Every structure is written in C-alpha cells, then in structure tokens.
Amino acid sequence: MSFPDNFLWGGATAANQYEGGWQEGGRGIAVHDLITDGTKDEPRRIYCRNDQGEETTIQMGECVPFGYRGVLKEEYYYPSHQATDFYHHYKEDIALMGEMGFKTYRLSISWTRIFPNGDDEEPNEDGLIFYDHVIDELRKYNIEPLVTILHFDMPLNLATKYGGWIDRKLIDFYLKFAKTLFVRWKDKVKYWITVNEINVLGGYWTLGLASNNRKKGSHSNQGETPLEDAGIKFQSIHHMLVASAMANKIAREINPKFMLGTMCALSGIYPATCHPDDVFGAYEFRRKALMFSDVTCRGYYPNYAQAIFDEYGFKLKMEPDDEKWLRENTSDYLAFSYYRTTAYDRFSPNTTTTGGQQASPNPYLEKTPWGWPIDPEGLRFVLNELYDRYQKPLFIVENGMGNDDIIKEDGIHDTYRIAYLRDHIKEMKKAVEIDKVNLLGYTTWGCIDIVSAGTGEMKKRYGFVYVDLDDKGYGSLKRIKKDSFNWYKKVIATNGEDLD
Ligand code: BG6
C-alpha cells in the first residue's frame, strides 16, 4: 500500500464562499460581503463611497482609494451573504462528508462571526457555539477538523479604522482571534492553518489596504497588484508572517501536540522553452512564491528576497524582534494549494505579479473551461520540489477542477472531474510511493459546491455534491450527489488503491 494508514483524505472549503448566514448569530461585516458577483469575463467589484458621497468601484486585488470605504448597494447580488448556506446545512453536509468516508474536513472560521468588528474586547459566544456544533458533528463521524484561521477574511471595521494589515495593530487583533480558537478547541482540533495562500494576498479584500493607485487590478484571486502597491502589500504580508509565527508560539503553549502550518498557493511554473532566459526567468518567478514558504518553513527571508523587493523599490521595515519571532516559530508542515502549472515566457514576463502565480499558458496542456491548465504530473513535480527544499511534511489542502455541471434525468455525470482528480491522485501516489515524499493528506477543493472566489459564480463548481443555486442566488439549496461522490468514497475506502 502506498499511502500510510493514517493518510488524511477529505475536502476543503472556506467560510467566505460556503457558510452564508452573514447577518445571523451576531456576525459582523467582512470586506468579502461587499464583493458583487461576476463572471469569467466580467470582474467582481466593490462599490466604495467617501464622506462626500462620491462613489467609485474597485476590482479584486485592488486597494480602496484613501478616504473611501466599501458599501453595499441594494441593486447588486453579493454571493457571500448566503453562499451555499453551510450555516443552516452543516448537519446534512457533514453527514455527506461522513458517507464519503472523509478522514478530515478543512474549514475556515469567519473572523467576524467570532469578533464582529475585529477589535472587540470579547468574542461573540454565539459564533463560537456555531463552530462548537460543527466540530462536534465532525467528531461524530470521526472526521478530523483542519481549521484555517484566516481565509480571505478581512473585518470591514479593521479595514476602515486601521487601514488593514499595514497597521501592526492587526497582529494583536489576529492573535486574540487565533488564541480564542486555540483555547476553545485545544482538545478537539489538532491541525491548524494560520493563513490561507499568504503569498497571493493583496489589496482591499484580503488585506484591507488603501492606496491612490488606480491601475487595473486582477480579475482573479491570484493577487496581481499594481507595481506601486507592491510595497504596502509586502509590508502587510510581513505583519501576517510575524502574526503567524507568534500564533504558532501561543498555540504550542496551549497544546504542544498541535500541528501548525501556514498555507501557500504553490501551483507550479515551468520555463516556456529551454532558452536560458526562460529557464532562469521561471526560476526567479517561482521564487516570488517560494519566498513566503521559505519564511514559514525555514524561519527567515531568503537571500534572494532583497532582489525581489528591489524590483519594486521596496524596503522592508522590521521591528527588532521580528526576525527572532520568525526564526523560533516555524511551521510543522507546509500546506499548499495546487490547481495547475503555467509557463514563464521571456517575451511576456509578468513583472507586476508579486505572488508569483501568473505567467504564460503552456501549449502542451489541456485547460478547464475556465482556462486553467490541467497538469497532474506538475503535482508530482511540485511535491518533490517542496519536499526537497524543506524536508517538512506536506499537505495538499486544495486541488480540483471548476466546471459547470449539468443535471440530467439520471444524475450528474461529472466524468471530467473524476478524470482530473484520478490523474492528480495517481501522481501524488508516485510522489509518496516512489519519491518518498512525506505527505500528510489531501483535501479536494469545494467538496460540496461553493461560490467561486475569483469570479463569484456558482456555476464554477468543484464539489462531489451539487448545490441547487444559480449565479444570482436563486435555487432551493438542495444537495444532490454527483457521480464523483461514489467514486471518491471508493478512493477513500481503498486508501487510494482503487482509482477506477
Ligand atoms: C484558491 C483559494 O486560490 O483557489 C480558494 O484559496 C479559491 O478560496 C480557489 O476558491 C479556487 O479559485 P476559484 O476562483 O475557482 O474559486
């Protein structure tokens, strides 16, 4: 058998895309509650207003202009408000996860459900009780909760009052939030992720940042940032890295058995050709992503970090103890997302990307309907790359294919999703069996359909379970098993041996 007996098979979601119940149980408003729906061609937007009543809009990845704040407009649809309503369906959904035999389920905690304003003195007990119920329900089915503390979640009040993560006070607010969770679930949760995809965060929606640069932002959630905004982004992410390290220390004092990781988006990158400029360009491009996992896994900024900062004319500001915090409180494992690979082409290098995820398409790979190249072998490549580099256990906490599923009279035949996952699991298996990579588990993304983060669509579905809801929020929310449901159930039951 290639996968260890305790291999953690499961699925993953995030509160901002799944939970809903946005005004229930005392939950406060987060910036993601102000993001409209979109499509793959029509960017999601945040409407903003200043004190004079003037309005403007920003896209995901952009900063809010100084003096403006995000507002809700009645005429628009905001997908996070209801999302796919885990808030009211958690029992039914967890039963479905249990039926599939999940060993783990990765969920994120809504910051504003616990601290509605982010800077409240006391946590909101109703919010904690909701997650108590979720965690107890998971335990009922022997499903190990894997908790992401922060997944694309920015309390609106912290963005408005402090300007987001550029202010170091955010470190304290985050630590209070994290500590509340560690203490509450010290005997019920073992696996933690301090921050989701820390290397691709940017702008108002994930960092709460303001700036007067009005260059076009990214349509995707992969953090394309105007050159001039890269500095505040790096500085803010530095604050988050320090916060993560401090959270690790607090967590270990509460329960030394906790497993703590910070998560990075580490879909792979190849050179477009064997031209040395493409090869070294790809190498440099990859470092823009690896720089962050270098900090969380090794405990310090790598030698090449300064070259990246120089590219953006940025000088990192460190407090005297920051380096010590980072050095002494590294992650126990590296959690990462993997969806695709891209190719670096010297003729069209994307110099404004500070997260290191956007580059040219690869002509050798098929694409999903949303244009994401499908590259199972790339997963084996990345698993080896990361394990060679860090020699720490790895955890694939997101992988999957977004597709528009069609309901037929005799069911939902998502053969394309089964093929995608099967091919990726085969390569993951080779990495474990042949290359001896230490892999803790695998959680597929959006195991029950959720709203797409990048486009805000419902029809970009990832799940084994279909949720009856359309792009404008109409539908019964009924859960329907797709063909992939029984397929994944069999994969888990055979510990990855039967993939047919
Ligand atoms: C990851 C995020 O970047 O990609 C998820 O952590 C997101 O929140 C996922 O949903 C897939 O992206 P999308 O845009 O298809 O939802």
Per-residue pLDDT tens for 228-286?
678 899 999 999 999 999 999 999 999 999 999 999 999 999 999 999 999 999 999 99
The answer to whether residue 32 scores a pLDDT higher than 80 is: yes
Question: Of 197, 224, 427, 457, which residue is the catalytic one?
Answer: 197
What ligand 1 atom has the least distance to the C-alpha of 196?
A: 6
Cα 14 from chain centroid (whole Å):
7
Confidence grade of residue 334 (pLDDT, cut at 50, 70, 90): very high
Note whether residue 273 is domain-resident: yes
Note whether residue 70 is domain-resident: no
- CA within 13 Å, CB half, 427: 19
The total number of structural domains that make up the chain: 1
What ligand 1 atom has the least distance to the C-alpha of 446?
A: 10
Active site residue 398: yes
Give the largest CA-CA distance in the chain.
66
In 233-316 the beta strands, taken as DSSP E runs, fall at 259-261, 263-265, 268-271
pTM of the model: 0.96
Note whether residue 64 is domain-resident: no
Instruction: Kindly give the distance from the C-alpha atom of residue 174 to the centroid of ligand 1, in angstroms, as a whole number.
Output: 22
Query: What's the pLDDT score for residue 25?
Result: 98
Instruction: Kindly give the distance from the C-alpha atom of residue 458 to the centroid of ligand 1, in angstroms, as a whole number.
Output: 12
Q: Return mean pLDDT, the chain.
A: 94
Instruction: Kindly give the distance from the C-alpha atom of residue 453 to the centroid of ligand 1, in angstroms, as a whole number.
Output: 5
CA–CA separation, 487 and 466 (whole Å): 15
Asked if 344 and 362 touch (Cβ cutoff 8 Å), the reply is no
Q: Which residues line ligand 1 (CB under 6 A)?
A: 14, 17, 152, 196-197, 221, 265, 337, 398, 402, 445, 452-455, 460
The answer to whether residue 423 scores a pLDDT higher than 60 is: yes
Query: What's the pLDDT score for residue 214?
Result: 58
Nearest residue CA, atom 14 of ligand 1?
A: 454
Question: Of 19, 398, 427, 457, which residue is the catalytic one?
Answer: 398
Note whether residue 429 is domain-resident: yes
The phi, psi pair for 424, rounded to 5°, reads -70, -40
CA–CA separation, 147 and 185 (whole Å): 10
Please give the radius of gyration of the chain, using alpha carbons only, rounded to the nearest integer: 21
What ligand 1 atom has the least distance to the C-alpha of 265?
A: 3
In order of 129, 281, 362, the CA distances from 296 in angstroms are 31, 24, 30
**Number of helical H runs and strand E runs in the chain:** 14, 16
What ligand 1 atom has the least distance to the C-alpha of 400?
A: 11
Confidence grade of residue 359 (pLDDT, cut at 50, 70, 90): low
Give the domain extent around 270.
8-32+80-493
**Helix 483-493 with 415-433: angle, nearest 10 deg:** 20
Note whether residue 45 is domain-resident: no
In 40-198 the beta strands, taken as DSSP E runs, fall at 45-50, 55-59, 68-71, 104-108, 144-148, 191-193
Note whether residue 55 is domain-resident: no
Note whether residue 431 is domain-resident: yes
The amino acid occupying position 6 is N
463-489 average pLDDT score:
98
The answer to whether residue 222 scores a pLDDT higher than 60 is: no
Element (DSSP H or E) covering residue 443: strand 439-445
Query: What's the pLDDT score for residue 218?
Result: 37
The CATH number for 105's domain is 3.20.20.80
Query: What's the pLDDT score for residue 354?
Result: 56
Structure tokens at 455: 């486009």
Strands 439-445 and 341-344: unpaired
Q: For the segment 116-132, what is each residue's pLDDT rounded down to a tens digit?
A: 999 999 999 999 999 99
- Which residue, 111, 148, 96, 104, is CA-closest to 32? 111
The answer to whether residue 312 scores a pLDDT higher than 90 is: no
Query: What's the pLDDT score for residue 223?
Result: 45
Active site residue 197: yes
Q: For the segment 37-91, what is each residue's pLDDT rounded down to a tens digit?
A: 999 889 899 999 999 999 999 988 889 999 999 999 999 999 999 999 999 999 9
Note whether residue 41 is domain-resident: no
Question: How many C-beta atoms surround the C-beta of residue 161 within 10 A?
Answer: 16
CA–CA separation, 60 and 455 (whole Å): 10
CA–CA separation, 267 and 286 (whole Å): 10
**Helix 169-184 with 125-140: angle, nearest 10 deg:** 50
Query: What's the pLDDT score for residue 363?
Result: 87
